[in-house]
Chain A
Amino acid sequence: MAPWLARASSQLARRAARRLLSAPPPSQHRLCPPGPWLLSSAPPVLGTSPLPAAGSGDSRGFCSVRRFTGESSAAAAAAVEEAENGLVAVGGDQAVDFPGGKVSFVAEMNFLPESQKERINCYRVLDDDGRTISGSRFQEVSKELALKMYSEMVTLQVMDTIFFEAQRQGRISFYITSHGEEAINIASAAALTIDDIVLPQYREPGVLLWRGFTLQEFANQCFGNKLDNGKGRQMPIHYGSNRLNYFTVSSPIATQLPHAVGAAYSLKMDKKDACAVTYVGDGGTSEGDFHAALNFAAVMEAPVIFFCRNNGWAISTPTSEQFRSDGAVIRGQAYGMRSIRVDGNDALAVYTAVHAAREMAIKEGRPILVEALTYRVGHHSTSDDSTKYRPVDEIEHWRTARDPISRYRKWVQGNGWWCDADESELRNNVRQELLKAIQVAERMPKPPLAELFTDVYDEIPSNLREQERLLRDTIKKHPADYPADVHI
């Protein structure tokens, strides 16, 4: 752990400890044995209460608002003064031992505000021009790592562009780009090790790319040919690889989050030096599974990183119609979980935040929530036209002025590690390799018919054997009804 990171982590722990220490001391006049559900003392008696039950220890005192019902104005004024001094009625006997720690009683009725005065700030390393902002601290990256990150970001961008075109030409049925989120994809992946288990949503193919999934493998999946790991059963972009610890993508939103908690718990029980990492969009934070997963993770102290890509749009629904909280980051605390907001278009910030999150998750056995602010520059998918619901100017602004790749390139180039010639060579190579991969994938036969019936269970049960037999009879009678590229 970097020294400054260790400092930051222990600072957090100290702060938490202070919160506990600042609770009032236990009552000297406890009548009941200390138990988590027992009031440690009688409720506060303030002024002369008109209610006969006041102070008698009945349970109503627990959430009493009596002071607003019948106090003298002088007492009320004194209480206000107390409140302003921040010394609200927290005498030795005015607190309760409640599960989770001591809770102070106060005389003021204060509703928590719906939000903090200022929005949670956002960690950043590089400014818009790719210069490190003054005072920024970040996890150092070697030239080699920095260049690999850059190359993979460019590769992802080129891959998206070409596959998108292939879909438009009708060669593949569907595609989803990660345009605008290349830094999130690659930098988060770079901060992990291959032993960390990734449970993706669907806009994180860059994580898989980083881990060594080849362009040919991507193409095989998108064409659903016989070399596709998924045997052509799912739509394009539903990648998965056991070898690379990348769970197979499924379309339902946020369902992978509780899986990540289970996977992380397993890693912890096996004492592995690894964590689970799962991704979700801003829309996914509205799902029940988001709540389920964060709560389970906190309670079970599972080493899992929840990475929320807040890209502003869930298909056509903007975040203003998705939630009223300050994004996702604020919710971490409600679950008892550390969280950070990071500039998702700043590769170094994403890398550093995930690196630190991973250290804390594994060493301290705890979940971490990372919210990256970014923008979905592309359409939701090839079935979507986002200009129907958002201004083109907005898209252009993020595509150009806030592009994560060019910002990072400026930093890399500023270090003297990259030049224009390198750039064109890289882009050309990726393009050539991908076009070749597409040609190969396209010509590759589809998986044979027999694979339709495998993997439903570990072994094919009799009902499926019977159905396969019937289907083969039908195919014999009506061969023209069936695609020629599936081997019967």
Chain B
Amino acid sequence: MPAAVLPRLKQQSVVPGFGPALGFTLFYLSIVVLIPLGALALRAAGLGWSDFWQLATDPRTLAALRLSFLASLGAASINVVFGLLLAWVLVRYDFPGRRLVDAVIDLPFALPTAVAGIALTSLYAPNGWVGQVLTPLGFKVAYTPLGVIVALTFVSLPFVVRTVQPVLQDLDRDVEEAAATLGATRRHTFLRVVLPALLPALLTGYALALARAVGEYGSVIFIAGNIPYVSEIAPLLIVIRLEEFNYAAATAVAALMLGVSFTMLLIINLIQAWSRRRFGHGA
């Protein structure tokens, strides 16, 4: 990166190290992420536009994409509500076993997804601990789209908690106190003062949970049932294309998913940048 470009690219700052830091970031990003994904895009391009369009509008592809994205939205929404609650409880309250609960949150990352899938299936199958209770009530979870949501909720659980937690810890209580002094109810203070400040972190958590859930394969495959048009997720379609030795079609489905996820992430990051400017965090 020629030094002459830098001043125009960025605003002046007395802090050094912009060139090396950004240079290394871009270099590493390119090697690990961009070049390999570029190779993927190149393979997908091998399919040709009309074939790609046919694949992208195929009812089965659409059904799988719909399931993947809807189930992910469901799981991410569940996690936003309960993730916020968990973060709140962990930061604001002291109760016996709090540290243990705090430590357990990250387990979905550490447990191999296949193990998570197997464990969840064994719980929610009609003969499992939970399934035994739910099945007589008419709830079928394992081998239905509901099972997909359960698995995705599990794998994306840590994201919202872990993005909200540090921000909540940093949040100045003075503002809340001021609101209370001015006569705001607790509920009002929470909705008008605390929630707006947490919004960027919540959005980030939501985006990351959603992105992670959309691509998940290992855990879902055990609990989904995998019936085409009903409980078949998009990543399974990729695997099926691979089994047909059709790399171009497989990568095309992947590119499609990636495109949608990327757009969602970008929009959410832009909203966040906007809210940071608006609410003046870190300015």
Whether A and B are associated in the same complex: the answer reads no
Q: Which residue numbers of B lie inside 8 Å of A, CB to CB?
A: none
Q: Which residue numbers of A lie inside 8 Å of B, CB to CB?
A: none
